[in-house]
Each structure stands twice: as C-alpha cells, then as structure tokens.
A and B are shown apart, each in its own frame.
Chain A
Amino acid sequence: MAIFDIGIIPVLFAFWFSGVVAAVYLTVRLQMRR
C-alpha cells in the first residue's frame, strides 16, 4: 500500500516535528502571559 512506501522514519520525524511546533507554541503562550 502507498502509505507503507513512505517508510516509518519520515512519519516519525513528522510526528516529532509537530511535537516541537506544539512545544514552541505552548512556550510562547506562557511567556507572553508573564
């Protein structure tokens, strides 16, 4: 199936990257309120 052709590494990387963006978002929101 097409999805499995992508490989697991890019999927994990995308998931990690979205986590980083979420972490940055939460950090900014908290810093702005100080």
Chain B
Amino acid sequence: MEHTVSDPLVDDYLRRLDVAAAGLPPDRREDLLGGIREHIDAAIASGEVTDEASLRALLDRIGEPEEIVAAAAEPGDVQPWAPPPAPTVYYRRPGMGLEIAAVLLLTLGSLLFVVGWLAGIVMVWSSRRWTLAEKLVATLVFPGGPGLVLWLSAVAVGQTMCTTTSGDGASTDVVETCTSTGFSLPAPFGALAVLLWLVLPLVVAGVLLHRARRRADSEPPVPVYPATRSRWGGLEIAAVLLLGVGGFLVPVVAPLAGLFCAWMSSQWTRAEKWVATAIASMGLMIPVLGLAFAALARTS
C-alpha cells in the first residue's frame, strides 16, 4: 500500500530512509521501504496520528532511518551511511628531477658548447636543495664544464711552428725562428690543468647530487592522490629525453645516460628495460655487423 498522506515530515523521513538503504540489495530495499510506508499509513489511517506532534512521535518510535537500515543489513551489505572510504593516498619521496637534470647538464651537457652548461647553472641556482656556497662551487669549478676544455683543446690549441734558416756565406750560424699561435702552457701544467678541468667538475657534480639526495630524503614524503598520480617522474622524463633527443646532441653518451636513468626508474618492468636496452643497442650492432661482413668478404 502506497502512503497516501503527503506530509513534508513523512516525505522527508522516507527520503532519508531511501538514501540510507541505497546499499541494500534491491529486493530487501523495496521490502524495507514498503514495510515502513505501510506502517506509517496504517498509523495515520487508524487515527493515531492527528497532528504534527503525534506524527513526530510515530516517526521517533519507528526509529532513525540509518538505524533501521543498520538493523536490516546483513554481513556483506554495503553500509551506505558510513562515510565513503577515503581515497588511498600514496607517498613518494620528493623528486630530484631538477637536481639530476642540472648535474647532467653541467657535466654531459657541457659538451653542447656553453649552452648546456649555462642551462645547468640556471637549474643549479633555481634549486633550493643546495646552499649558496655549493652553488658558487658549481659555478666556479669550472666555467664551461668539462665539455669546454674538450672544445678548446680541439679548436684553439696553441701551436708552435719553427723554421730554420742557414746563415749567409760569411757565417755558418743556423737561425731558428719559432712562432706560436694561441695560448699554451708548459706541457706538464697544461696537462694537469686539462685533467683538473675534466675531472673536478665531475667530482663536484657527484658531491652536489649526493647532498641534494640527502636533503630530499629528509623532506616529508609527497602525497600522491590516485587521480593525480602520474608515472612520469624526473627519472622517466630524463630517460626518454636523453634517449630520444640527447642522442642527437651528444651521440652515444646521452643514450647511455638515458638507459641508465631507465634502469634506475621503478616505473618500468625489468622486461621493458631489457627491451629498451636491446632497441637502443641496435645502433651499436651496425659497426659490429659491418666488421662481420668485412671478415666474411675477406674469407670468401
């Protein structure tokens, strides 16, 4: 029997009951709602309910909708009045993308003449994980990075050319005239300077990375909500960029660094890492195959 009394109190009560029973199986939900409706209608029809006070008393006797549903629920039923389970929050350790990119640019990136190194320095100064002193050391040891010294030694190396001329008939002296181009240090000092310029930036980069990692680990973990959870962290972006773009700018070295990043990442499975390594290594196969073909051609 449908309830025929259209009273805001009854309507509100039945709506609350309907909401509370949302988690029950449909048949039991219908039974429950129908039973309560019937009970209210019967009470009203019997004259028990004459005014608002008696209606309120009736609804109080029936009970709170949530309690009725809780009593009707069986184990396994969803408890709709309970707050929805809080979304699972994951925590990850603070990202190091900026610092890793800065260190890579200061070292490998310096091979891109000055540009890569400058980009690295901008990143170093924009990171909050290094002290002023560390940023100064990163900038001053050494400007241009190891890449610059390689460029300079390839392009602007000093050369000394000597010519000997015999004296004229009156003298037997041999005159040697030497001219130097560019700037050159005495060999031992030059070699030492080049070595330091190549090695010290790498040492500084290692120390900076280590300190940034330590500071990042002491920071509170970063909550990652499922809706915003991204698999793309600094390592993953670095891996893909180094493999994809880096190989064009810094052949061989950048793809190897990219593979290293991919292997450090926990986002790819071991199988995927092996596949990527195999694909990236195919370029290396070309010279190997060339040698094999050459050997075959010689024997045949």
Contacts and interface: CB of A to CB of B under 8 A. Distances in A.
Nearest to A8: B251
A18 B248 contact: no
Interface in A5-29: 6, 10-12, 14-27, 29
B231 interface: yes
Given A14-B283, A26-B268, A19 B294 contact: no
Given A3-B287, A22-B280, A29-B272, A16 B231 contact: no
B276 interface: yes
Contacts, number: 96
Given A15-B255, A16-B248, A19-B258, A26 B239 contact: yes
A29 B243 CA distance: 15
Contact of A18 (B232, B267, B268, B280): B280
A27 B259 CA distance: 13
Contacts of B277: 22
Nearest to A31: B231
A22 B243 contact: yes
B297 interface: yes
B297 A23 contact: no
A13 B259 CA distance: 17
A16 B251 contact: yes
Contacts of B276: 22, 25-26
B120 to A, nearest CB: 21
B45 interface: no
Chain A interface: which size bin?
20 to 34
B293 to A, nearest CB: 7
A27 to B, nearest CB: 6
A30 to B, nearest CB: 5
Contacts of B161: none
Interface in B201-231: 230-231
A14 B262 CA distance: 20
Contacts of A20: 243-244, 247
Contacts of A14: 282-283, 286
Contacts of A34: 230-231
B230 to A, nearest CB: 8
Candidate in A16, A21, A30 with the most chain B CB atoms within 10 angstroms: A16
A11 B89 CA distance: 47
Candidate in B230, B232, B276 with the most chain A CB atoms within 10 angstroms: B276
A12 B240 contact: no
A26 B250 CA distance: 20
Interface string B273-300: 0011101111110110011011001000
A5 B20 CA distance: 81
Contacts of A27: 240
A15 B281 CA distance: 7
Interface of A: 1-3, 6, 10-12, 14-27, 29-30, 33-34
Q: Pick the 4 closest A-B CB pairs, nearest first.
A: A15-B283, A23-B244, A2-B294, A16-B247
9 contacts: A2-B291, A15-B255, A16-B251, A16-B255, A22-B255, A23-B240, A23-B258, A30-B236, A30-B268
